């Protein structure tokens, strides 16, 4: 399966038509793709522009992170971004601002089926997230008959199958959480652990040094623990060099770029180049 892209249902009209006519909940594409046996390459989106999101959806990334924690992304915005990616081969991951029952309920009902939660510090917090995401009797997610996730009631088996088709990614971002990563990974219902080097560096006394080798080493050690638990491991890379290292190290999904950094970094380089010419 090496080199294979995510399953692209947009290229299979017959399959797409059958899915609509059968009115059954489709298999989670991200969960399926994690079994391909190669790292999934992703991009972080902070610009909150659906035009940018849609364009990036066709750029060749496996997944795109809609950032509801550090970007001004509302629930309505998140829905718009998911719609923009709907016809593309790129899968949306929605990061919420916090591990919160109400936020989870509203975004799940809105159709987010791959959720990332920041700053999960221990197994208890991870278990709470699992409970918030699942319908009874396995959890406490509120039940609605009509919402976007069920195509407004047109998927009759949504309530029966939602629990198994949702993906929960919890972020481990502090030195304290790293010490408990094995316990967090062992929580049933947690599908993957994602490592954030920025907050981890800060918790290690190295604020603003996400690319420090000591931070990368800690993350690599934790990845091995996660894999030993049978769960998937993802990471945000602070620069292209470390992104390549993470891919070679065996991470299951890696964020290799950021839309804001691409735009503003390129803009600065262009401005500096032509300003230097103008000053001569």
Q: Say which CATH number the domain at 62 has.
A: 3.20.20.60
Q: CA dist 68 to 24, 57, 74, 81, 242, Å?
A: 29, 18, 7, 11, 24
Averaged pLDDT of the chain: 93
Within a domain: 55: yes
Within a domain: 121: yes
Residue 280 is predicted with a pLDDT of 86
Q: Over the stretch 234-267, which tens digit does the pLDDT of each residue have? A: 999 999 999 999 999 999 999 999 999 999 999 9
Pairing of strands 253-258, 232-236: parallel
Q: Which helix (H) or strand (E) holds 162?
A: helix 158-165
Question: What is residue 235's three-state secondary structure?
Answer: strand
Residue 5 is predicted with a pLDDT of 55
Say how far apart CA 190 and CA 134 lie, in whole Å: 12
Cβ atoms of residues 43 and 255 within 8 Å: yes
Q: How confident is the model at residue 23 (pLDDT cuts 50, 70, 90)?
A: confident
Question: What is residue 198's three-state secondary structure?
Answer: helix
Give the residues across from 170 on adjacent strands: 117, 193
Q: Over the stretch 207-225, which tens digit does the pLDDT of each residue have? A: 999 999 999 999 999 999 9
pTM comes to 0.92
| Catalytic residue positions, numbered | 70
DSSP 48-72: --HHHHHHHHTTT-SEEEEESSSS-
Say how far apart CA 50 and CA 64 lie, in whole Å: 12
Within a domain: 1: no
Residue 2 is predicted with a pLDDT of 41
Within a domain: 4: no
Q: Over the stretch 154-205, which tens digit does the pLDDT of each residue have? A: 999 999 999 999 999 999 999 999 999 999 999 999 999 999 999 999 999 9
Rg (C-alpha) for the chain, rounded Å, is 19
Residue 85 is predicted with a pLDDT of 98
Question: What is residue 25's three-state secondary structure?
Answer: coil
Within a domain: 3: no
Unique residue bearing structure tokens 């920041």: 118
Could you give the number of structural domains in the chain?
Answer: 1
Domain that holds residue 116: 9-278
Say how far apart CA 195 and CA 119 lie, in whole Å: 10
Q: Say whether pLDDT at 11 is over 50.
A: no
Residue 36: burial class (beta carbons within 10 Å; 0-12, 13-18, 19+):
middle
* 71: Cβ contacts below 8 Å, ≥ 6 apart: 45, 46, 47, 48
Q: Say whether pLDDT at 21 is over 50.
A: no
Residue 12 is predicted with a pLDDT of 40
Say how far apart CA 110 and CA 44 lie, in whole Å: 20
Q: Say whether pLDDT at 17 is over 50.
A: no
């Amino acid at each position: 399966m090496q080199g294979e892209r995510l399953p692209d249902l947009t290229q299979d009209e017959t399959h797409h038509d059958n899915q609509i006519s059968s009115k059954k909940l489709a298999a989670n594409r991200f969960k399926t793709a994690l079994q391909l046996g190669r790292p999934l390459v992703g991009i972080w989106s902070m610009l909150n522009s659906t035009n940018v999101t849609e364009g990036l959806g066709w750029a060749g990334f496996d997944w795109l992170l809609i950032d509801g924690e550090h970007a001004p992304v509302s629930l309505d915005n998140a829905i718009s971004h998911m719609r923009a990616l709907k016809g593309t081969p790129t899968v949306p991951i929605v990061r919420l601002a916090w591990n919160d029952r109400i936020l989870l309920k509203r975004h799940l009902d809105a159709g987010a089926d791959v959720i990332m939660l920041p700053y999960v510090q221990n197994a208890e917090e991870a278990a709470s997230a699992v409970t918030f995401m699942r319908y009874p009797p396995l959890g406490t997610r509120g039940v609605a008959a009509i919402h976007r996730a069920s195509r407004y009631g047109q998927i009759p088996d949504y309530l029966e199958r939602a629990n198994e088709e949702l993906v929960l990614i919890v972020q481990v971002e502090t030195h304290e959480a790293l010490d408990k990563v094995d316990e967090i990974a062992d929580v049933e219902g947690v599908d993957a652990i994602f490592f954030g080097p920025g907050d981890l560096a800060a918790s290690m006394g190295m604020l603003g040094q996400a690319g420090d080798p000591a931070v990368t080493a800690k993350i690599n050690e934790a990845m091995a623990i996660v894999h030993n638990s049978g769960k998937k491991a993802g990471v945000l890379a602070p620069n292209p060099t470390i992104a390549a290292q993470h891919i070679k190290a065996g991470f299951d999904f890696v964020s290799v770029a950021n839309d804001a950094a691409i735009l503003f970094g390129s803009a600065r380089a262009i401005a500096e180049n032509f300003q230097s010419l103008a000053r001569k």
